[in-house]
Structure formats: C-alpha cells, structure tokens
C-alpha cells in the first residue's frame, strides 16, 4: 500500500472489467475522474462466469484485509447467458444458478464492512449481426442472443432491488440512439470507447443520486494535496499562483 489512504473502488467481473482500461475503457475513465480522490482497482477475468467467481471471493475480497473497498462494481452475466454447449463444457450458467451466485457475491461483499457500497451492472445487449459475421477459428460456435441477455439483466435487477444494491441497467441504457449496435461494440460483445462512456454515465448517475454517507460522488470527495502553494504555476498577473489541482481541462467530456 501507498499513502495517503484514499477510498478504494474495485471493479470485479469478466472481460468487460478486464478490458476496462483498454481503448478508452470505462475503468480508465473512472480512474481519471477519481484521480487524487480514490483508487480504482480492477479484478477482471476474461471468459469468467458467476460460477467461477464465487469460489475465489475470499481470495479477491479477504475479510481480514486491513483496508476494505469503499465501493465494489460487479459485472457478471454475459458469459453466464450464453447458450449451453452439447458437451456440457463452456461458460453457460442456468438462470436459477446465476441468481444464487450473484446473491452469494452480494452477501460476501456486504460482510466485508458496514460501510461498503455495491453496484451491480446488468448484462448489456449485443450486436448479434456483428457476432454472426465474425466466426472464430479457435472457438466453438458461440450462442449469444439479446433475448438471453435481457433475461439475465432483468434477474440481476430484481436481485439488486431485493438486496438493497444499486443497479445500472446497461441493457436499456446502451440502446440509446439508432446507431447503438455499431457504435458501442468492437466485436459485437466487448465495448468500444462509446460503449464505455455509456457505462460511466450510468455509474456516475447512480453514485451521484445515492444517499450514501459519506458520499462517493467524485465532486464531493476531497482532492489529495489540493492546498494552495507558492510552487503552483504563476498566474497571468505575475504576482500570484494558480491552484490547478481541481482542473479537468484535459478531458474531452466534462463529466458531472
């Protein structure tokens, strides 16, 4: 660990999380938004489903850790919702088991701290046509449908409502605009920069509107070492310095 101590935001999930720091990904955007305010850490595992996540909960989120996360953002469901393979192999998890697994994840996270906050991301939609046009030479045929994605997303939303967890409905929010299917994905499944921006919008809306004490809204968090200093850049008047610790001019999007 390095100091000073900050809130810790952990992103936990499958490839949508593992890839979230690549190509303008949503994890990288969050890390930039929370720069000098909170540490954003990823625990993403390509190809994983909720069944693989449950057995490693104690390793990823040990209950005896000296510092527990302030916020955990969880995404599983896309791989779970894939159609079953005739061999019995593969990532498919029946909906009933997916529900139980997500509840186990929620209960484990809640046990870490009284102050921990949790957001579940619902399964986003797919570009089915893009998937059909990109067959793999190394993988068996992938059976992915928007119908299944919605079923798993809706189930995740119900879990969140029952357990008092915040929910981001990516299946709904991703489908804004006529071009969403081509704009939001790189391969029909994984998110493009535009898709990641929509994930960030949903997460920030939830955090801003949540009645959490203390608030984890980025504008409410103190900026580390944000005091005025004679070593700041000199202003145009030539007699004073300008504190740039809160500046966001480098961002293409001025997030709220």
**Catalytic residue positions, numbered:** 14, 187, 190
Counting Cα atoms < 13 Å in the Cβ hemisphere of 34 gives 22
Structural tokens at position 183: 């704009």
Q: Which of 172, 208, 197 shows the shortest CA–CA distance to 251? A: 197
> Alpha-carbon distance 143 to 157, whole Å?
23
CA 11 to chain centre: 5
Q: Which of 130, 105, 9, 126 shows the shortest CA–CA distance to 49? A: 105
> Alpha-carbon distance 219 to 107, whole Å?
29
Q: Which of 222, 237, 158, 182 shows the shortest CA–CA distance to 6? A: 222
């Amino acid at each position: 660990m390095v100091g000073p101590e900050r809130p810790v935001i952990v992103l936990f999930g499958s490839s949508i999380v593992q890839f979230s720091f690549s190509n303008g990904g949503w994890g990288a955007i969050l890390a930039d938004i929370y720069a000098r305010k909170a540490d954003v850490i990823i625990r993403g595992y390509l190809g994983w489903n909720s069944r693989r996540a449950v057995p490693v909960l104690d390793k990823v989120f040990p209950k005896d850790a000296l510092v527990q996360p302030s916020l955990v953002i969880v995404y599983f469901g896309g791989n779970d919702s894939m159609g079953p393979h005739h061999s019995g192999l593969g990532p498919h998890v029946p909906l009933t088991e997916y529900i139980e697994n997500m509840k186990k994840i929620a209960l484990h996270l809640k046990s870490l701290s009284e102050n921990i906050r949790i957001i579940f991301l619902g399964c986003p939609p797919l570009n089915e046509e893009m998937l059909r046009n990109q067959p793999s030479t190394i993988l068996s045929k992938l059976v992915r449908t928007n119908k299944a994605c919605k079923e798993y997303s809706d189930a995740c939303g119900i879990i969140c409502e029952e357990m008092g967890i915040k929910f981001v409905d990516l299946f709904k929010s991703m489908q804004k605009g006529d071009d969403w299917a081509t704009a939001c994905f790189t391969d029909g499944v994984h998110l493009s920069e535009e898709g990641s921006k929509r994930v960030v919008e949903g997460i920030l809306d939830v955090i801003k509107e949540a009645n959490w004490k203390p608030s984890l809204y980025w504008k409410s968090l103190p900026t580390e070492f944000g005091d005025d200093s004679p070593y700041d850049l000199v202003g145009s008047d030539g007699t004073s310095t300008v504190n740039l610790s809160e500046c966001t001019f480098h961002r293409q999007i001025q997030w709220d």
